Structure 1
Amino acid sequence: MSETTAEIVLFDGFDELDAIGPYEVFENGAELGVALETRLVTLEGDTDEDGLVTASHGLCVEPERTLGEPDLLVVPGGGWTTEGGVRAVVEDGSIPAAVDECYTAGATVASVCTGGMILSEAGLLEGRPAATHHVAVDDLAETDANVVDERVVDDGDVLTAGGVTSGIDLALWLLEREFGEDVADAVSERMVHERRGEVFG
């Protein structure tokens, strides 16, 4: 069985739990034996002089490498209603373009929280059901996405999740979808996390 690669793309102002929650879920899955390698990545030049990315609450993270050609790309949110973060990413356009390239190359793309705004800018939510954090619902509704009030939305090769902790449920659903319910249940138990809400889609 070939190994699945998952990459979580970081940028200044990303929400810590949006990225680290799914990372821990995936790493626990790997420790339980599934063929999954997870990497924290960034775009070339998107780190400071020390090679770090600073998250929305001040956590500094050193990405393992630059964005490659993952099977699964996870895009966190953070900072839609403030300067920096997702709003700056959308205005810059580099990450949305990279997300679109990964999708075009065959990657499944998932967003957490306001990361859905990045997927929208990448053109991936047109005509699709999608969820985001409540602070961005009105803005996402002004796009071509069909906004739904759900915790996790699975539209096949594009998935979205609501705010912050929903990223853990998203990642657990991806483990269940790709590797089986037993794996997801084992990781949920290991992390003492009670899964919430039905997956929409």
Structure 2
Amino acid sequence: MTETTAEIVLFDGFDELDAIGPYEVLENAAQAGADLEVDLVTLDETDLVTASHDLRVEPQGTLGQPDILLVPGGGWTSANEGVRAVVEDGVLPDKVDACYTEGSTVASVCTGAMVLAEADLLEGRPAATHQVAVEDLEAHAANVVDERVVDDGDVLTAGGVTSGLDLALWLVEREFGADVASEVSEEMAYERGEVFG
């Protein structure tokens, strides 16, 4: 059995917790025995990415063809920042679509769902996002549900910010078993929310 790869794609203006929370969950799962490699990546090589609260992060590489691709949110309500900027640019949604087409499971946290919507991955599907993007997501023909995590098989979405922890823990349980997920949630002193789907 081959190692599962997970990549969390960063861009200027991403929300810190949307990316770093799931990263910590997945890294803890690897330390708990999950055969998993987790990387923070960007579309193009860069030394640093500046997040929405000015945290500067050094990425570990560029986006490849991971088994699991996670897209954080941040900046949807701001012009030319964060998710809004990458959706308008169109390159990240195209890359997400390409990864999905080649077999990646794609997940989003918060307004990262708008990237998946722009990649045409949410039409007619149940999906969650942060409350500030519900109407915009519905305009993309997604069936928006008020849930922390929505699992629709090869596409998963999570609502606002902290729900990224629930999403990552659910992915750990789904891919590596309930025992690993329980060990991670206990270590992180985090009480998990429910999953829809």
TM-score relative to the length of structure 1: 0.96
Structure 2 residue ranges without an equivalent (≥5): none
CA distance in 1, matches of 2:101, 2:40: 21
For 1:173, the equivalent position in structure 2 comes to 170
Matched, 1:185 2:182: yes
For 1:39, the equivalent position in structure 2 comes to 39
For 1:10, the equivalent position in structure 2 comes to 10
Say which SS state the counterpart of residue 111 (structure 1) adopts: strand
For 2:48, the equivalent position in structure 1 comes to 52
* Identity value in percent: 76
CA distance in 1, matches of 2:153, 2:181: 18
CA distance in 1, matches of 2:117, 2:96: 10
Give matches, 1:38-187, under 5 Å: 38-44=38-44, 47=46, 51-83=47-79, 84-187=81-184
Q: What's the CA shift for 1:2?
A: 1.1
CA distance in 1, matches of 2:2, 2:54: 37
Q: What's the CA shift for 1:92?
A: 0.1
CA distance in 1, matches of 2:27, 2:85: 29
Say which SS state the counterpart of residue 132 (structure 1) adopts: coil
Give 2:92's aligned amino acid. I
Q: Provide the aligned length of Structure 1 versus Structure 2.
A: 196
CA distance in 1, matches of 2:140, 2:43: 26
Q: What's the CA shift for 1:152?
A: 0.2
Q: Superposition RMSD on alpha carbons, in Å?
A: 0.7
Give 1:56's aligned amino acid. S
CA distance in 2, matches of 1:44, 1:173: 29
Structure 1 residue ranges without an equivalent (≥5): none
User: After superposition, what is the alpha-carbon deviation per residue over 1:144-193, rounded to whole angstroms, capped at 9, x for unaligned?
Assistant: 11100010000000000001000000000000001111110100000010
For 2:22, the equivalent position in structure 1 comes to 22
CA distance in 2, matches of 1:22, 1:100: 21
CA distance in 2, matches of 1:107, 1:72: 5
User: After superposition, what is the alpha-carbon deviation per residue over 1:44-98, rounded to whole angstroms, capped at 9, x for unaligned?
Assistant: 15x4xxx100000000001110101100000000000013000001000000000
Give 2:65's aligned amino acid. E
CA distance in 2, matches of 1:143, 1:70: 26
Say which SS state the counterpart of residue 41 (structure 2) adopts: strand
4+ aligned runs moved over 3 Å, structure 1: none
CA distance in 2, matches of 1:121, 1:141: 12
Q: What's the CA shift for 1:43?
A: 0.5
Give 2:75's aligned amino acid. G
TM-score relative to the length of structure 2: 0.98
